[in-house]
A = this chain, B = another copy of it.
């Protein structure tokens, strides 16, 4: 970006929650102009028809992907469903930079992809070029990437606290247990019985116990951090709230390490990061303290069981867990300050 020229960005899949969240954030981003919105089922409509809270904005009407004019764009966010994205991105002009919010390019190993997502990868060459978009760990690669695979929401919540500790050898790479709790927006806007207010509010349950697709993604990155394969226990739960993820993580301390060492190491690692914050001893992070913001909060606690620690981390699944981190990656890819457009405070209560 030179001078006052704004990046022309497109959002593919604008009628979903991550699409709407990209719009909410990007319309106040000083370096960006939204030049394309796609939504196949709603082609021809203004975005206010599907998201009334965005009705007052002056934005292009939604079009189908087939009718998109790529020539005007500098950057594309791809917020399409898993498995539909590979072909779309493969068909984009090479000149376009892309941040993909789906799971399609997150797993470096295409065999692992095929195993967990039920089919052969449709764009394995692109997969090789994709950079994993956990900004705090890959920002140098992201800066030079054409295609960034934005991490999953559970994944980001788990990796941010665990990767520095594995890198530093302060915890065991074995026996890591991640008990994760997510708000309903993580299930998207699809019309599913399990997402109805009547089926979600005033109750909780675990789902996909031992079988959730974010587990191999978490293991991929923890394996990089640990320098060896990692198997995690991962249990997601559905919470009667819209936004927010909280991961309660149970770890074994490495020989010689204590709980304060963990907190000190995390605090040092994230000391200059604008969006990751380690709380003082005794403070427990709450999802409501990051609602609507791009922040991740981490608390570290001693376990009653000797030699163990409990780590709690929270973020907003639609922001740092999706659209906010995608914008952070766009900033990094396009030479903009990483925090640009992401400085809103949390909305509480």
User: Which residues of A pack against B, CB within 8 Å?
Assistant: 17, 20, 24, 27-28, 51-57, 175, 177, 179, 181, 184-185, 189, 191-193, 195-207, 209-211, 215, 231-235, 237, 239-244, 246, 248, 250, 277, 283-293, 295, 299, 301-306, 308, 310, 312, 314, 343-349
Give complex CA distance A54, B347 in Å: 10
| Contact across chains for A250 and B233 when beta carbons are under 8 A apart | yes
| Contact across chains for A243 and B349 when beta carbons are under 8 A apart | yes
Give complex CA distance A185, B200 in Å: 12
Give complex CA distance A149, B254 in Å: 41
- Shortest beta-carbon distance from A119 to chain B in Å: 21
Given A177-B177, A203-B286, A231-B304, 16 further pairs, Cβ under 8 A? A51-B348, A53-B288, A53-B290, A199-B288, A201-B201, A201-B242, A203-B287, A204-B286, A205-B286, A205-B312, A207-B284, A209-B301, A209-B310, A209-B312, A210-B310, A240-B240
Q: Which residues of B contact A55 (CB under 8 A)?
A: 289
Copies, count = 4
Q: Which residues of B contact A17 (CB under 8 A)?
A: 198, 349
| Contact across chains for B345 and A204 when beta carbons are under 8 A apart | no
Given contacts A52-B289, A191-B193, A197-B240, contact A206 B248 (CB under 8 A): yes
From B56, B185, B299, B305, A198 is in contact (CB under 8 Å) with B185
Given contacts A196-B189, A232-B305, contact A237 B248 (CB under 8 A): yes
Q: Which residues of B contact A243 (CB under 8 A)?
A: 202, 349
| Contact across chains for A286 and B56 when beta carbons are under 8 A apart | no
Q: Which residues of B contact A250 (CB under 8 A)?
A: 177, 179, 233, 250
